Every structure is written in C-alpha cells, then in structure tokens.
Amino acid sequence: MIFTINAISPLHPTLWRTCRVLANRTRLRMLALLLHEPGLAVSTVSDRLAIAMPHVSSHLRALESRGFLSARRLGRRVTYRWNSPTTDFPVGGLLSAIHGVFRSSSEPIEVIFRATTAFTHPRRLDIIRALIKTPRNFEQLQSATRISIPALRRHLKKLQARKFVSSRSERLHVEVRTDPLGRELIHMARQDDN
C-alpha cells in the first residue's frame, strides 16, 4: 500500500522560515538531484550525495515541511519528488522560480543560496516592507521599523550585498529585480505577514 506523507499544509508558510530551509547548500544539492531524478528513496539520495542517511532524512523532511517536496511511503521505503509549481499552495510561485534557476543557471545552487539568505531573518522582511511603501533615509527607516541602529546597519548590509536594497540620493530603495527568483521573493515579502 502507498501512502502520501504530510500533505501540503494549508497554512501560509512564513517567508523567512522558508528561506532558512532553502539557504542551505546541502538541501539545494538534494533539490537538484530530485529535479533530475524524481522519486528517489532516502537511501539513494544518501548514497549519491555521500551524506549519512539520518542527515538526508532530516533535510528532506525540512524541504517537505515548506512545501517543496512530497513524500511517499511504500512499506519502509520513503521516496521524495518535487511538488508541482502551481499556485494552489503558498510556495507555488517560489517553487516555479527555483525550478527555473535550476534549469537556466550555470551555478543554480549559489544563485538560490545568495538570494534566499537575504530573507532569512524577519527583520529583513520588515525593512523590505517599509521600503516598498516608500523610499526612506536611514533615520526614517529606523523610526519606521524600530530596529536598533547596529542591527539595522547589519541587516541593510546583507540586503544591499544581495542587491535587494540600494541607496540613491541618500534614500534607501527596494531594487527592481528582473530575475524571476528575486521578483518572487519581493512579491512574497510584500504579502508575508510574519
């Protein structure tokens, strides 16, 4: 008998938690492998990537918990595959954008890693949301977000390094991203409420 394990949660996953799961090169390697060979068992992923099975299982469950993978159990054997990039669930657009990066980039793991590490903290989402509403200088942004000055500098440095925020005429702006992954992350930041 075949069982689908943990159907996709109807709850909207928070962007920063989802990005924390994605901002891991080992997990991204697993996604790449499952894109090219869907339906692999945990033991096969473990063998192919030379990673201990308990670690593989933990990483795959994390990806499944955020809606990127689905699992099927047949007896003791558990297999994983990518979920379809549809808009029927909260990460559908993100899944589609990540799928596109894997298909089109020469270094997809680094591209995804760099983009998602910009959104691995809830304060960075507060900054993006404040700047989407209106460009602001540093003092206005600090007042709007109530983030301490040292923390705000640290978070802005990360967002600027990842090219999601820039400074023009002493005002901070959210960058207009032309890449689908960057656009989707900004779109999700706009909608994410925690």
Distances, alpha carbon 26 to alpha carbons 51, 135, 166, 183, in Å? 9, 36, 30, 24
Domain coordinates in residue numbering, the chain: 2-109, 118-191
The residue behind tokens 């304060």 is 123
pLDDT tens-digit readout, 114-161: 999 999 999 999 999 999 999 999 999 999 999 999 999 999 999 999
pLDDT tens-digit readout, 6-52: 444 433 468 999 999 999 999 999 999 999 999 999 999 999 999 99
The hierarchical CATH code for the domain 118-191 is 1.10.10.10
Class of domain 2-109: mainly alpha
pLDDT at 2 exceeding the cut of 80 = no
Q: Please answer whether residues 91 and 19 qualify as being in contact, where contact means their C-beta atoms are separated by less than 8 angstroms.
A: no
Same fold, 2-109 and 118-191: yes
Name the pairing type of β-strands 77-82 and 40-41. antiparallel
pLDDT tens-digit readout, 112-126: 999 999 999 999 999
